[in-house]
Amino acid sequence: MLDDGEIESRVRLIRPMEHHHASMKMMDESHWQPTDRETFAAAWNGEVVDVPEFAESTLHIVAGLLLPIWKRLPNESTRVYRLQTDAGERIIGRRVSPAWAASACMTATCSLTPNEAFSALMEGRTVLELAEDLQLRRVRVMGAHRFELSGFTDVMRDRLRAYGLFSEIISWKLRMFVPSDATGAAVLAKVLDHYPIVRIGEREAA
């Protein structure tokens, strides 16, 4: 149906490795022409012979534990692929575009232990992006450096407090912090165990 509501007659043009649609008007202006079954079969078989037995293509798959980073994956395709390599390795994951994969690879991926993450926060130049849209960074509050966790929801508050985070209401807003003293690394380990790091960013030290 066209934008003005008119019904347009179309045909589907099928070839051995592809198909597309065309309007009857386009068909009248093309070089396609009616033929008999035998002529069509000969042309079809001739094209099939020229098709290679195998074809190679590159797929970019994000595999592994996808649930914590599901929201960060592109929205253009949510299909999950199940693949098996010639060596027998099985892969389950989301297909992403080459552009998205290139962009993601430009940012460092997490390989930090809790102690390393705590030290990185202490330096003040690292932003840790965690699962479920949480973010950890060093901030300056009332003249002192603190490790602030932002992006939490009301449902997360009790769990985060149980992990050892403390909260304060500053300018009528509830803010939560990981202790920056000797107990901080252990508290951070509990946080990262439930909300793993999905990306590591850099910024000017605060």
For residue 193, with 0-12 CB atoms within 10 Å meaning exposed, 13-18 middle and 19 or more buried, which class applies? Answer: exposed
For residue 203, with 0-12 CB atoms within 10 Å meaning exposed, 13-18 middle and 19 or more buried, which class applies? Answer: exposed
Q: Which helix (H) or strand (E) holds 130?
A: strand 126-130
pLDDT given for residue 105 in this prediction = 59
Residue whose pair of structure tokens reads 């033929």 in the numeric block: 35
Q: Which two tokens stand for residue 47?
A: 């094209």
pLDDT given for residue 166 in this prediction = 93
Checking if the pLDDT of 129 tops 60, the result is yes
Q: Cα-Cα-Cα-Cα dihedral of 197, 102, 54, 91, to 10°? A: 0
Checking if the pLDDT of 108 tops 50, the result is no
Pairwise CA distance, residues 9 & 23, whole Å: 6
Beta strands in 42-196 (DSSP E): 60-63, 80-84, 90-96, 126-130, 134-141, 144-150, 166-170, 173-178
Pairwise CA distance, residues 90 & 84, whole Å: 4
pLDDT tens track for 151-199? 999 999 999 999 999 998 888 889 999 998 888 889 999 999 999 888 7
Q: Which residue has the higher pLDDT, 153 or 97?
A: 153
pLDDT given for residue 97 in this prediction = 66
Averaged pLDDT for residues 77-94:
85
pLDDT given for residue 74 in this prediction = 74
The two beta strands, 126-130 and 144-150, are: unpaired
The two beta strands, 173-178 and 144-150, are: antiparallel
Checking if the pLDDT of 77 tops 80, the result is no
CA distance between the termini of the chain? 58
Residue whose pair of structure tokens reads 């973010």 in the numeric block: 135
pLDDT tens track for 17-59? 777 788 888 888 778 888 999 999 999 999 899 888 887 767 7
pLDDT given for residue 205 in this prediction = 47
Checking if the pLDDT of 106 tops 60, the result is no
Chain mean position to CA 62: 7
